[in-house]
Every structure is written in C-alpha cells, then in structure tokens.
Chain A
Amino acid sequence: MEVGRLPISAAQKGKLISAGYTTLSSISSLSPTLLSRDLNISETDALEIIKHASLGGTMDDCSSSRAIIGAQTAWDVLHEEESATRITTSSVDLDHILGGGISCCEVTEIGKITALTSLIQLAVNVQIPVHCGGLGGKAIYIDTEGSFMVERVLQIAQACAVEMSTSYASSHNSLPPSHILMQPEDILENIIYFRVCSYTEQIALVNYLDKFISEHREVKLVIIDSITFHFRQDFDDLALRTRLLGGMALKLMKLAKKFVLAVVLLNQVTTKYTEGSFQLSLALGDSWSHACTNRIILYWNCDERYAYIDKSPSLRSTSAPYAVTSSGIRNSVSKCQQILRTQAT
C-alpha cells in the first residue's frame, strides 16, 4: 500500500486507510481542509500529509517546495526555455527578431493573405539534420484552402539541399558523404500532407493528431493553412464557433507541449467594423486573439515585405524586412544595397 511509504505517524496512516485513501495520487490532489475534515485532524497536519504525498512518498523532503505533481520552479522553466530548439526561417533578420526562429512548444499564428512560401520554408527547415544545427524532424501540413503546390515545395527543397551540402563542404573542407546528404525527394517524403474540405474534417483531424503524432514521434512541426477558411462559411451561431475554435486552440497547445513541437497557424486578414469605421485586423474575432501564444503579421511596406511581431510573451514588438525568392524566404536586399552591389560588379 502506497500510504505505508509516507513518513508520517502510524496513527495518521491508520486514519488515512480507514478513510479510504490508499494511493498517493488520491491524497495529493486534495485540499488540506477536505483532508482535515475527513481524517478529523488539524489542517496543518493535513497539509503535511499532502506535502509528503506530492513528493511521491520519498524521505527526501529537503528544499523542494512543490505542492502539486508536475509543477516546476521558474528556474527549471527558464532552463527548458533556453534549451528549447527553434526552427530557423532562413532569413537572418527574421530569426533575429524571433529570437532564433519559430519556437517549439508554442503555437504561433501568422496573419497574411497568402504565405505559402514562408510555411513551406518552415516545413523544409524543420528537417535540417541535427549535425547542421536543425531539428531533423518531420512536418505535418494541413491544407484547408488548396493553395499547396508541390512544385513550389520541390524548388525550396532543392535550394535547401544545395545550401546544406555547400555549408558542410565549407566547414569540413570536403564534400559531404552521401549518407548524410538530404535529397529533395527525402524532404518531400518528410512532409505529411492532409487536405481538409470542411470544418468538421478539420476538427476531426485536430482530434486525431494526438494519436497520429504519438505514432510518428519525429513530427516537430504542425502547420494549418489556414485555420480560418472553413470557419468563415455560414456560421450563424457565433457562440458555437467561438467554443469550437477555443477547443481546437487548447488541443493544439496541448500537442505543442506534449510532443515538444511547433504549431504554426495561418490566419486571414479582415476588416473590423468599430464605431462607424473599418479597421484591419486578423479574422475570427477578439476571443481567438487570445488563443495563440505568438502572433506574427506579414505586410508590405513600399516594395518590401515585412514581418511584425504583434504578440509574444517573450519577444519585443518589432518588425524586420524579408524577401521571397525562388529558393524561399531570404534576407531582404534593400534597394541601396542592390545599387552598391551592381556598382561593385
């Protein structure tokens, strides 16, 4: 019997067992008041018992002050956060404002009309092997709008494969051995593609992801392009929509934490009608804006594309330019740099 292991007096153990408490987990989730009433002991004694039970019945009760199983100290959390891997965006400027890239364990929302290149770039970059500084994972791509183009993936995958082999060659002064080289075909194979045609399918798929990922532990990135589309079609009951979306957001957050993976959602831009004027905002309403941990908005400024961090618990709200090229997302080469470069050549 588990309670037998607790470092408490035999009388208290007897009271526990006669009240029906035999396992540690049944005690640790109780409040001291409840336990003290059940066992007819003082609240301080009850608190003592709960403390011991939460520690798993071990004798060692020195420094740790964890009252609930699974709780961590802020120090542990900081360590975990610092060691958390990030998925690079292939643009140094973007990585800089994102603190190294898209964070694993978190849900990130991207707001833009079409952002296929940036999403595919992430799906490709998550596969960069560990020895090249990547995650060596797989990506799940959930397509709700039908904008996914395999030929574009292939272009970006080819560029990424070439870059990996040249960076290996320059750092090792030799051509990379064939077994560690990634072929564009391998990259394509590691993107798991789902096409979703209605919101019921979308909800079903999000519910199924938990099972799917526990069978495919290599998955390090889940992309939904877009979370919005099916939820903007004839939803008369907006309260129901909010509940469904809220439930989906919670499931995605749980996935991100449980399997240490990044979740990236695409959201659409819309206008919001407030006090007689229209303002730009992301779709799905105010309640949805609480659902994601990070929010990045992509926009045009003159002839340059910019990314702006709209919401993040740890990053500063700044923006950085980037460029979309045939080989994917890259650093933006601004006009004056272009002129300098042409002059130099």
Chain B
Amino acid sequence: MRPATLQVRPRLVTKLTSGCPTLDRHLAGGFPFGSITEISGESGVGKTQFCLQLALLTQLPPSLGGLSSSSLFLHSEFPFPSRRLHQIAQSFLAVHRDVFSSHPSYNPLDCVFVHPLHTADHLLDEMPRIESFIESSRASRLPVRLIVIDSIAALFRSEFDNTPFDLKRRSSIFFKISGWLKSLAVKFDLAVIVTNQVVDLVGPSGGANGLRIGNLGCLNSSGRRVSPALGLSWANCVNSRIFLSREEELLVDQATGPVHRSNGETSVHGARAIRRLHVIFSPHLPYSSCEFMIAREGIRGIER
C-alpha cells in the first residue's frame, strides 16, 4: 500500500457540472468525483429531473464541465420518465450542437444506460453485474463515469419493519451498498448521485432523535417540517447532502393588489412554487442556498 502525495493529485477534484453557472457557483463547480452526493427532497420538487439532466451533461467534454462519459441510471421509482429524458435531450442537443458536430449520428440517449431496481436485495444481487458492465465500458468511447440511483429510499421504505432486528439489518445493507458505491467511485473514478425521499418530522424540534445533522436546524418544505428519509445511519453513508425544498407562493394581481372579498378571502391568481437548493453538509462546501426553477430544458438557478 502506497500513500498518495497530494501534490500529484489534481489540485481540484474533477467535478460534474450541474448545467447552470448559478448552481455551479453554490456547489463550487458541481458534483465531485470519488464520493457520494445525495439529493433529497419531497416528491415533485425536481430530484429526478435533476438526475436526468446530469446523466446527459456528463457526456460533454471536460472543457464544458462534463466528463466525456456515459451514465448508468438505476431507477426504483416506476415508470422511468423516458419522455422527459427525451425532451431534455432535445434541448441539450440544440444547445451543444457544435460539440457533437463531429458525430452526426450521435444520440445522447444512447449513452444513458437505464436499469430498474425492485428491492434492496435486487440491488445487492446486481452489484457484480453492474461492476463488470462498468469495467467493460471502459474500452468504449464514452466509459461510464456517473452512477445515478433514483431513489435509494424507495428500495427500503416498504420492505422493512420498525423493529430493532429489521432496522439493524437495514442499516447493515446501507453500509454495504454505500461501501460498494464508494469503492466503485475510487476504482473507476466516477461520481455517484443518489436521491432520497423525505419523512415528516413529528414531535419536539431539534431534528430526528434531537440530533442536528448538517447546517440547518430544521428543513421545511411545503410548510411541513421534514427530514431526509432512512435516518441517521444512511446520513453517515453519504459524503454530501443536498436538499431541495418547495414553498407555494400565492400570486397576487400586481395592478389591483390583494382584493378582499366580502367573505374575507383574498383573491389570488394562482400559486407559484418557489424551489430552493440547500447544501446541508459537504466536506468542501459551506452552507448556502439558492432558488431554482424547472424549465423545459431542465433545472436552472435563479440569480437574486
């Protein structure tokens, strides 16, 4: 076993761009390689779309923040949103047409490998096959250098009871999966993105079990106090945690202002969702947050 000298290691860890300069600034360049980044948030906040976008962006050359690589998309929430992926891929191609002009037959969807996962045991069974697939892809033009698991929570939330025995078995599987992903990340120098669902927090404030994880005292989304699912042991398994939140903002008519009707209700012209991205914990990032929106071409940060 030989030590690595930090002088030889690249000064900046290679990172996968998030596809938007504003978000990249909050993430110090994007998602780092060699470690696991978790994106958590309630349903409909944009986790899956974020992952689809990353699966395409990784095909860009390094000069544009990508890795000239293909991606492996393991999905456990059905069905796989192939229509949305196609839509994002269209705008992706339109924006980066000149990059791929040398490959006229190039189709970005060819470089996203999709594989379903049904249970945690299914993932454990598939591990050796996935590893040999990544190994064999190294010879191709675009080797796999991004693994997305969307979502890790869906694998675990149905099958396990809330008994000490099951919880113990569950957390030992967490560590097994995480250890395997991390060893892949080192061996093949790839980025790992996992998404996670949230659970509602009931009871006294101060996070799950009264322990505060990360920079924020409590996380709020849609007016509820939530926490990323799978508990404390999974929080120990990821290197960085990013939280996406959503709040409804009522749109009020600009010209007339709020009109109070006789029954006391305020007239509104619909609601707009304000989405924010928060860095909960990360070895190299301080806490920061930024507003983002979901456009046709994917997720974009909003400069304030």
Q: A-side interface residues toward B, CB under 8 Å?
A: 113-114, 116, 140, 145-154, 185, 188-189, 191-195, 197-198, 201, 204-205, 208, 228-230, 232-235, 268-271, 273, 278, 280, 283, 299-300, 302-303, 324, 326
Whether A146 lies near B185 (C-beta < 8 A) is: yes
Query: A151 contacts which chain B residues (CB < 8 A)?
Result: 11-13, 28, 284
| Contact status B284-A146, CB under 8 Å | no
Complex contacts, B213 vs chain A, CB 8 Å = 113
Given contacts A150-B9, A153-B6, contact A234 B175 (CB under 8 A): yes
Report which of A148, A154, A204 forms a contact with B1, defined as CB distance below 8 A.
Answer: A204
Nearest 7 pairs of A and B residues by beta carbon: A149-B284, A300-B212, A233-B175, A116-B283, A147-B283, A232-B175, A197-B183
Query: Besides A192-B5, A280-B209, 7 other CB < 8 A contacts?
Result: A146-B35, A146-B186, A229-B175, A232-B172, A232-B236, A234-B173, A302-B217
Q: B3 within 8 Å of A by Cβ?
A: yes
Chain B residues within 8 Å of A185, by CB: 7
Contact of B232 (CB < 8 Å), options: A194, A195, A271: A271
Name the distance in Å between A236's Cβ and chain B's nearest Cβ: 9
> Do A278 and B209 have beta carbons less than 8 Å apart?
yes
Roughly how many angstroms separate A235 CA and B173 CA in the complex, as a whole number?
10
CA distance A152 to B173 in the complex (A): 31
CB distance from A258 to the nearest CB of B (A): 20
Quick one: given A208-B1, A232-B172, A269-B211, are A148 and B179 in contact (CB under 8 Å)? no
Query: Which residues of A are found within 8 Å of B175, using beta-carbon distances?
Result: 229, 232-234
7 sampled A-B residue pairs with Cβ under 8 A: A113-B235, A114-B282, A116-B283, A192-B3, A235-B172, A280-B211, A303-B217
Partner of A273 from B3, B164, B210, B283 at Cβ < 8 Å: B164
Which residues of A are found within 8 Å of B13, using beta-carbon distances? 149-151
Name B1-36 residues within 8 Å CB distance of A.
Answer: 1, 3-7, 9-13, 28, 32, 34-36
- Are B209's CB and A299's CB within 8 A? no
Q: Does B243 make an interface contact (CB < 8 A)?
A: no
CB distance from B9 to the nearest CB of A (A): 6
Chain A, residue nearest B173 (CB): A234
Our pick among B5, B9, B186, B281 for the contact of A113 (Cβ within 8 Å) is B281
Which A residues touch B209, using CB under 8 A? 271, 278, 280
Looking at A113, A152, A194, A302, the one whose CB has the most chain B CB atoms below 10 A away is A113
Q: Given the known inter-chain contacts A232-B175, A234-B175, A271-B209, please indicate yes or no for A194 contacting B3, CB distance below 8 A.
A: yes
Interfacial chain A residues near B235, Cβ < 8 Å: 113
Nearest-neighbour CB distance to chain B for A152, whole angstroms, equals 5
The secondary-structure label for the interface of chain A is mixed
Give the interface size bracket for B toward A.
35 or more
The distance in angstroms between the C-alpha atoms of A283 and B168, with both chains bound, is 13
Contact A280 to B7, CB < 8 A, known contacts A114-B283, A147-B283, A234-B176: no
B233 in contact (CB, < 8 A): yes
Are B281 and A114 touching (Cβ within 8 A)? yes
Q: Is B239 an interface residue (CB 8 A)?
A: yes
C-alpha spacing A205/B2, complex, angstroms? 10
- Tell whether B62 is near chain A: CB-to-CB under 8 Å: no
Q: Which residues of B contact A153 (CB under 8 A)?
A: 6
Are A270 and B232 in touch, CB under 8 angstroms?
A: yes
Assuming the A-B contacts A151-B13, A152-B283, A280-B210, are A268 and B176 also in contact, with contact meaning beta carbons closer than 8 angstroms in the complex? no
A194–B1 Cα distance when bound, in Å, is 8
Whether the pair B7, A189 counts as a contact (CB closer than 8 A) is yes
- Residues in A whose Cβ lies below 8 Å from that of B32: 149
B281 and A197 contacting across the interface, CB-CB below 8 Å: no
Contact A154 B283 (CB under 8 A): no
> In the complex, what's the smallest C-beta–C-beta distance from B59 to chain A, in angstroms?
24
| Closest Cβ–Cβ distance, residue B15 to chain A (whole Å) | 10
Candidate in B175, B211, B282 with the most chain A CB atoms within 10 angstroms: B175
On whether A193 and B5 interact (CB within 8 A), knowing A149-B13, A300-B212, the answer reads: yes
Per the bound structure, the CA–CA distance linking A283 and B283 in Å amounts to 21
Cα distance A229–B176 in the bound complex, in angstroms: 10
Contacts A278-B209, A299-B212; is A146 near B11 (CB within 8 Å)? no
Counting CB contacts under 8 A, is B119 at the interface? no
Question: In angstroms, how far is the closest chain B Cβ from the Cβ of A323?
Answer: 11
Q: Which residue of B lies closest to A196 (CB)?
A: B1
A264 to chain B, nearest CB (A): 16
Cβ–Cβ < 8 Å partners of A114 in chain B = 239, 281-283
Compute how far the CA of A140 lies from the CA of B1 in the bound complex, rounded to whole angstroms. Answer: 13
Asked if B232 contacts A191 (CB within 8 A), the reply is no
Hey, which chain B residues are within 8 Å of A204, CB to CB? 1
- Chain B residues with CB under 8 A of A197: 179, 182-183, 186-187
Please measure, in the bound complex, the distance between the C-alpha atom of A213 and the C-alpha atom of B183, giving whole angstroms: 26
Contact B172 A233 (CB under 8 A): yes
Q: Does B171 contact A (CB under 8 A)?
A: yes
Report the minimal beta-carbon distance from A129 to chain B, rounded to whole angstroms. Answer: 19
Report the nearest B residue to A276, measured CB to CB: B164
A301 (CB) vs chain B CBs: closest residue: B212
Tell me how far the C-beta of A59 lies from the nearest C-beta in chain B, rounded to whole angstroms.
50
Q: Which residue of A lies closest to B3 (CB)?
A: A192
- In the bound complex, residues from chain A placing their C-beta under 8 Å from that of B9 are 150, 193
Shortest CB-to-CB span from B172 to chain A, Å, is 5
Least Cβ distance of B12 to chain A in Å? 5
Q: Is the CB of B34 within 8 A of A146?
A: yes
| Most B CB within 10 A of own CB, among A189, A233, A283 | A233
